Amino acid sequence: MSRVSRIPNLGGATAFVLHRPHATVAAITRQLTAIGLQATDCWPELPAEVLAADFVFFDVDLGFDEQFPWRAGEAPMPLIALIGSEAPGRIEWALSQKADAQLLKPVGNAGVYSALLIARQAFEAKRRLADEIAALQSRVAERQTIVRAVVALSSQGVDDDRAYAQLRSLAMTWQISIEEAARRVVAMADGEGSDEQSRRA
């Protein structure tokens, strides 16, 4: 029985190295090319085409927020921090960028490949977690909408169980999900409340 490799093929991927001209850049570029990546070095800012990149290496020692075309911690690709100075302020700034992996400078003849793999895995795990949180928040919001719809229907003189049954019946009649039916009921109730307030005014 053969095992399926979990190591992704990085050949053909693109990487930007945001670092001032330095031997570090040459060492990283040499390793990236050997792995099969297309490397682009830049300083002091990232070009617009970075948004299509697969990886970004960035200098922690001289880096600053304005170098990136996204908000701190919201990079659309894996980030790899290049750390030379361990000054607390520099480390704190690197953490604010939410780097997915790191390389200590000076960079030698190894380390880039493992940093790429670790960064890719950490980035994908972070995205999966964000998606799960968004899905849970959406479900909570939908449940709150259902509760509001049941309350709106029970205000017409029926108990909660009958109001919920009425909501399910409306969903079947309209041939939509119960969540969508709840949104419609809440919207109608809010509209009626606004009309009532207008009449009182």
Which domains, and CATH codes, for the chain? 14-110 (3.40.50.2300), 136-200 (1.10.10)
181-193 pLDDT, tens digit per residue, is: 988 988 988 876 5
The pLDDT assigned to 113 comes to: 95
Answer with the residue of higher pLDDT: 44 or 160. 44
pTM, to two decimals? 0.71
150-181 pLDDT, tens digit per residue, is: 888 887 777 888 888 888 899 899 999 888 89
Place of tokens 């830049």: 42
